[in-house]
Amino acid sequence: MKIFSGIRPSGQIHLGNYLGAIKQWIDLQKENECVFSIVDLHAITTPYDPKELKKDILNTAIIYLAAGVDPDKSIIFVQSRVQEHSELAWLFETITPMGELNRMTQFKEKSKENKDYINSGLLNYPVLMTADILLYKADAVPVGKDQEQHLELTRTIAKKFNQKFGDTFKEPKSLILKEGAKIMSLTDPKRKMSKSDDKKSYISLFDSPEEITKKIMSATTDSGKEVKYNITKKPGISNLLTIYSLLSNQTTQEIEKMFVKKSYSEFKKSLAEVVVNYLEPFRRKQKEFSAREIYVEEILNQGKSKALVIAQETIQEVRSKMGLS
Ligand code: AQP
């Protein structure tokens, strides 16, 4: 299969991004043609600081590498350096119904969060995402649950294009994990873990052991004392149990048994240890890659060259089918 996925460099990559998306990438790259982008053009649709963005782009590349994305197997590149993404997005905008964009949940949520920053880029975000995916004619897109609606729109746009201009694109499916597709905030377990939220609400993959322990120990839990998975009655504990389960490779039932008659605090201490140990290689590799910025830039340059070859071929085909050249 051809696979495309990306993350916006809009802050610190967290456990949700990792468990919902990046972890899948590592398995998928073994047997598929994978393209993983640092989607910086998406990051500028919400408030940002240009100096920070530059750092976040590099840090996101380092996360990909530290998590195990292999540049010999997968293409890793920065979206804005391949201009065909913007061009294809514009071309798709001309066949995307406005109504479809207005009803997107992410647009509504981000507009509410950033009332002074409701720009048309934010509205058109899913069209750019469609261009990202279809430029590489991807069969599948590994993402967290929050992106499913955008993937539906991608399929709609692919279908529309094919009907109007002739068979060109496949309708890509989303690869959404059964567990981990929606990791919740540590401070408000009814909300998704998000990098643009308060730092206490997420665990960054590069947090220090002290930071991780502090965040987990102060994570919102529920009334009652039992460590039991119950998403409606105990959303806080259930979210922590999901994280425990995914990082320790044990089922939630096995973990519940370990904590029968034990307190929330004992459970959280143990979870903090699991998370600290799991993320230890990430912290180590981050230090290694941060000291080798030129090497990371070289990987991004090579990725760009490989991505360009595919992107230019698709753009030529689209231009020609649309009567532009
Ligand atoms: N909480 C989550 N649980 C599981 N998967 C998640 N993803 C995001 N949050 C969770 C998945 O991570 C990938 C990258 O997402 P993104 O950064 O491109 O955009 P996002 O979905 O908007 O992520 P954030 O963390 O909420 O960022 P901000 O706050 O900047 O908007 C996607 O596959 C996403 O599904």
110 in catalytic set: yes
pLDDT at site 262: 96
CATH of 206-287, one of 3.50.50.60, 1.10.240.10, 3.30.70.60, 3.90.170.10: 1.10.240.10
234 in catalytic set: no
**Domain ranges (residues) in the chain:** 2-181+293-321, 206-287
Tell me, in angstroms, the distance from the centre of ligand 1 to residue 163's CA.
32
Tell me, in angstroms, the distance from the centre of ligand 1 to residue 202's CA.
12
Report the atom number in ligand 1 closest to the C-alpha of 142: 33
Question: Quick one: which of 233, 205, 234, 200 has its CA closest to 219?
Answer: 200
Report the atom number in ligand 1 closest to the C-alpha of 147: 35
Cα 249 versus chain centre, distance: 22
Architecture of domain 2-181+293-321: 3-Layer(aba) Sandwich (3.40)
pTM of the predicted model over 0.85:
yes
Please report the beta strands in 169-247, taking only residues with DSSP state E, as ranges in sequence order: 173-175
The mean per-residue pLDDT over the stretch 69-95 comes to 98
Q: Which of 147, 152, 190, 202 has most ligand 1 atoms within 8 Å of its beta carbon, as the pocket-test mutant?
A: 147
- How does residue 246 score in pLDDT terms, banded at 50, 70 and 90? very high
Residue 32: how many other CB atoms lie within 10 Å: 18
- Out of 23, 195, 215, 268, which one is annotated catalytic? 195
- Out of 145, 178, 192, 321, which one is annotated catalytic? 192
Tell me, in angstroms, the distance from the centre of ligand 1 to residue 87's CA.
25
Q: How do residues 44-62 score in pLDDT, each as one tens digit?
A: 999 999 999 999 999 999 9
Long-range CB contact pairs, 51-57, < 8 A, 24+: 53/9, 56/9, 56/10, 56/11, 57/9
- How does residue 325 score in pLDDT terms, banded at 50, 70 and 90? confident
